[in-house]
Structure 1
Amino acid sequence: MMRLILWIPLLLLFLSGCIVVRSDAARVDPESGSFVIDLTSGGEQDRDSDENEGQDDDDDDDDDDDDDGDDDDDDDDDDDDDDDDDDEEVDQKRDEIEKMERDLHQAEIQMEISRLQWRLSEDAAQHQKDKDHRTLDEARRDRQLFHEFGVAEEKHDAHQSLARASNQLQDAEDELEQLSILYEGSELEDGTAEVVLSRGRRGLEQARRSLEQAQRDHHVALEIDLPKKLESFDRAVNEADRAIERADVERQVAEMEHQLAEQEQHRALEELQEKLEKAHHDLEEMTGEVVKPATLAWRFF
């Protein structure tokens, strides 16, 4: 009935060719372009309410989205922190491996240096050993030659000196005796006889003192100097022999010390290699990449 009442004035307006609508219930449909009158009360208010409610719903949805975005950002920040920590650990492990590789290479070079130094010391020891053996051979040869020729020569010289002194004394005695026969009882007044006899007596006294000195020299030469020379030759032989024995002992000690040092270097090198292998394994587990150990050429021979 209500619709019929409304249609009557609309029909009249249509017939007149002019329609004027001033009502909150009248609106144009945006899709069809037709003129629509909403006869329900509060149409525009309801639309505003609907729009406000839609806007509120959109705001709520935006707030929820913002909250979800904040949560996602927090999760991303946590993931970034974890990634940074992992990268830092990987870098530390790489630095550790690099340092261990340097230490390993230095240990290998030091071992090679020790090996070369041992070769040099062995060569020097062998050279010294040959020299000591030559010294011993020379000492033995000198002692043998002295026993064969030196002793006889020393004794001969001592005996000859004593014999010359004894002969000189005998000559002086004979000369004085002859002078005494010639000039004793002589009637020469110029004192020639006394001068000649005095000279003869002085020569005899000098010959007697020379003989005494020759006897002392003979004793020293045969009883003191000759034994000392024999002893010196024996001492030279013994010292050369002891030098060889001492060098052999020193070489044995040096060889044992070298073996101990070499074993210690091998143990240290093996420990470094084990630590380096473990570090490589840890890095592979952290990154998933296969780590190839670095190599260094250091051998010279």
Structure 2
Amino acid sequence: MNFRKAILHYGKDHLSLCLLACVWVAAAVTFLSLAFLLFYILWQGLPNITPKLFELEYSTENVSMFPAMFDTVIMVVLALLMATPLGIFAAIYLVEYARRGNKIVSVVRVTADTLAGIPSIVYGLFGMLFFVVYLHMGYSLLAGSCTVAIMILPLIMRTTEEALKAVPDSYREGSYGLGAGKLRTVFAIVLPAAIPGILAGVILGIGRIVGETAALIYTSGTVAALPAGVMSSGRTLAVHMYVLASEGLYMKQAYATAVVLVLIVVGINALSAKVARKLMKGN
């Protein structure tokens, strides 16, 4: 429905017309804000992207972001390996196995929603005290991965839970009618149907890992070098951009890093959407 048709449709109802105007204004402000942000980042960052920014070794002359890109990939992989199975299996239990009206399930859901809203700096302080100090991991990629895994776990669990709830009960009933058991029904029928929703949660989790700074500064450190292993300290792209901007000496390189971050997030979203469409066609 275009704007003119909407005016003619809701013109007699002043309240509906007012609400429609609020919706259009909110949509316009959101779109213009996003467009301005992207334009400003690309305008400031694209001219400053040079081959020196992608050299293997970081130095004060090239301020290479390649070690940070490598650390970001390691951080994302480790965190997803820890958080995704736990989140999916927890959601399966809550939806498929737990009794409806169970008080423990309600407590778990409220706790997950509460954890999802905790500021990242709190997670960073917890990760520093528990993983870095108590478990003697030091400032390392492993400590940072464990911290962000805890951060994205509630997100993946809740999105997976909603995706499982959205699967029609007729799928389960048909599977039971054909003689399949509970476990086979969940993994062969329900989970494949819920994959697009699960992927949505994983994508949001990846976005939070890639853009996280506060929690990682306190756990993984800010060393700008290729890591020797998961116990080495390192910085992600977001931390790299924050350090460059806070120093005030490499603002052009910080804007270039922001462009790379935007392109990575857009690429991840596009790739995940493509995979979800293929999975939907396969089902």
TM-score tier by shorter-chain length is under 0.3
Larger radius of gyration: 1
Considering fraction of residues, name the structure with more helix: 1
Task: Give the alignment's TM-score, normalised by structure 1.
Answer: 0.21
TM-score for both structures, normalised by structure 2: 0.22
